Structure 1
Amino acid sequence: MESLTYLVKEPKDARLKSVMRSIICESVFDIFALFEVLHQLEVSLLNDKVNNGGSKVCLLVIDSISSLLAPIIGGKYPQGRSMMISVAVILKKLADEHNLSVLVTNHMVSAGNGAVKPALGESWKAVPHVRLMLSHECQNNICTATVLKHTLMASGRTAKFAAPS
């Protein structure tokens, strides 16, 4: 309880700096660099498990998976779809074996009829356990999260929230 009291009394900017020190950011510009970073993460997590009994890593964020995968799907790489599935398998393995949450963004693109669709299309749809669609109303600061797929919630449920300014 002592450490909790300390955190509450700690100045806001010191808490922010403490949190930011625990974030590792890797810039990845192609699928091959993503494979390398995921491999390095797996090695690090395995070392943490052996040496420390567990990992301090609890969240992996990939923003945006579609910018890395779209160029290889249907493009000059005939094995693009299998590379996409390989990424999915690695992410699920990391999540399962290391109790790690994985958050992946997939941009929306025009469906041609005025509607929008996920950039990675039907191929990626089955990969995540939970799929949410986030939208922002242009005229105000309100965002909507819609459940598209969830094991414990009905599809179509929505929640509105104010976007941070």
Structure 2
Amino acid sequence: MEEYHYLNAKKAGAFDAVSSTHYARGGEGAIQLATSVIEACQMKNNFKFLYELNLPIKSKIEIIAKEIYRADSVKYEGTTEEDIENFEKNGFGNLPICIAKTQYSFSHDPKLLGTPNGFVFPIREIRASIGAGFIFPISGDISTMPGLPTRPAYYDIDIDEKGNITGLF
């Protein structure tokens, strides 16, 4: 059966297909997968952004909204246009864009199922992850995950002799 999956994956254009048994064998069960991932990452590739990185932030957002999400236009809400100006003034305008939106629709609205088109794509907020190297506009009513601190909280969490958990807050 494993041979069948391997051959089908290769036939479909996959770089490789390996079994990973890390869930049963720990790190040893993931060595083959890790090796394959490293090899794939070292290969020359033809990756190209949908837009030129030197375009203004708003242009990059609009290209993504129209070309990928099939929106007619983009509406910038609140202080997003001012925030974009500040990012560009501070030298972050050439960063790539990663739009945060619902996973349930190509649009910002989780109720617009399938492949809707002809809608206005709202940008309600825009943030920058400078260390990670991207700008992320937020569209629609979604919650975002917080970034991790440089020093994770688990360093301060402990259980004392009486079974009390300390260091949570």
Query: Relative contact order: is structure 1 or structure 2 higher (C-alpha 8 Å, sep ≥ 6)?
Result: 2
Task: Give 1 or 2: higher helix fraction.
Answer: 1
Q: Under a length normalisation based on structure 2, what TM-score does the superposition of the two structures give?
A: 0.29
Task: Give 1 or 2 for the bigger CA radius of gyration.
Answer: 2
